[in-house]
């Protein structure tokens, strides 16, 4: 079975190389957003680009902002399961400051390049041991895409709950703290835990996916 995997802001497929899943990972690369494109329309374009809805059985995996895209794709298609890592399921799970910033439109006043944080701040917010990997990912960030993605994150409207959801959050995540009683908590996990805690996360996913598939076959 294929799992279509969508990375977070500025990240790329390298974050998935640390996972040891029992399923084939298909890396969904970011495409350039159209001017004022909605997250729903963008998600539909990814579905078309990667022919996600052409398979009978597949899963969707999203990390951080990629989790929002994964959620929207899951609403538009029929995956067997959806996996969110260091992400949120709906608007209510976004922090109050993020929602407030979206309403204020302050992001429109900030130049794209100012969205690139100093290294010491990035290390603190992501909380990773793999600093060289984080440096490389941030240095290759497309700031046009980043500003679009941050805007869509701040203004995300989704209220829909996803069926067959596997949601994994880190107890020390500073960017998107885990919310909801359906979250599997990784103690002391931080926002970059898909890399730093890959073994634990892989084990959880493998077990949870098997449970969902077995229940679906009964």
Per-residue model confidence as pLDDT tens digits over 43-73: 999 999 999 988 889 999 999 999 999 999 9
For residues 6 and 72, what is the distance between their CA atoms, to the nearest angstrom? 12
How deeply is 52 buried, as exposed, middle or buried, from its count of CB atoms within 10 A (0-12, 13-18, 19+)? buried
Q: Quick check: 132 pLDDT over 90?
A: no
Residue 81 forms beta bridges with which residues? 59
pLDDT mean over 141-152: 84
Question: What is the set of domains in the chain, with CATH numbers?
Answer: 2-216 (3.40.50.1820)
pLDDT mean over 140-168: 89
Q: Which residue has the higher pLDDT, 136 or 211?
A: 211
Which pLDDT score is estimated for 122? Answer: 79
Centroid of chain to Cα 143: 18
Q: How many residues does the chain have?
A: 218
Residue 185 DSSP symbol = E
For residues 202 and 187, what is the distance between their CA atoms, to the nearest angstrom? 15
Q: How confident is the model at residue 218 (pLDDT cuts 50, 70, 90)?
A: very low
Which pLDDT score is estimated for 142? Answer: 81
Q: Quick check: 85 pLDDT over 90?
A: yes
Which pLDDT score is estimated for 99? Answer: 52
Q: Which residue has the higher pLDDT, 3 or 95?
A: 3
Q: Quick check: 104 pLDDT over 70?
A: no
CA angle at 19 for the pair 16 and 20, rounded to the nearest 5°: 140
Closest by CA position to 122, among listed 113, 131, 114: 131
Q: Quick check: 10 pLDDT over 70?
A: no
Q: Quick check: 114 pLDDT over 60?
A: no
Which pLDDT score is estimated for 106? Answer: 53
What's the whole-model pTM score?
0.89
């Amino acid at each position: 079975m294929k799992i279509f995997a969508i990375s977070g802001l500025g990240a790329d497929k390298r974050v998935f190389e640390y996972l040891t899943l029992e399923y084939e990972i298909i890396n969904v690369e970011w495409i350039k957003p159209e001017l004022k494109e909605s997250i729903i329309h963008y998600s539909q374009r990814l579905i078309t680009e990667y022919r996600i809805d052409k398979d009978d059985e597949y899963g969707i995996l999203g990390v951080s902002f990629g989790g929002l895209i994964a959620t929207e794709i899951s609403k538009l298609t029929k995956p067997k399961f959806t996996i969110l890592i260091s992400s949120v399921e709906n608007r209510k799970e976004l922090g109050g400051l993020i929602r407030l910033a979206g309403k204020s439109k302050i992001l429109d006043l900030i130049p794209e390049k100012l969205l690139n944080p100093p290294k010491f701040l990035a290390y603190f917010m992501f909380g990773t041991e793999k600093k060289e990997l984080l440096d490389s990912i941030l240095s290759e960030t497309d700031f046009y895409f980043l500003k679009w993605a941050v805007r869509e994150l701040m203004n995300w409207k989704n209220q829909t709950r996803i069926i067959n959801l596997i949601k994994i959050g880190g107890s020390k995540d500073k960017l998107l703290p885990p919310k909801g009683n359906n979250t599997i908590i990784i103690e002391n996990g931080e926002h970059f835990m898909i890399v730093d805690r890959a073994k634990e996360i892989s084990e959880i996913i493998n077990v949870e996916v098997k449970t969902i598939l077995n229940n679906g076959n009964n």
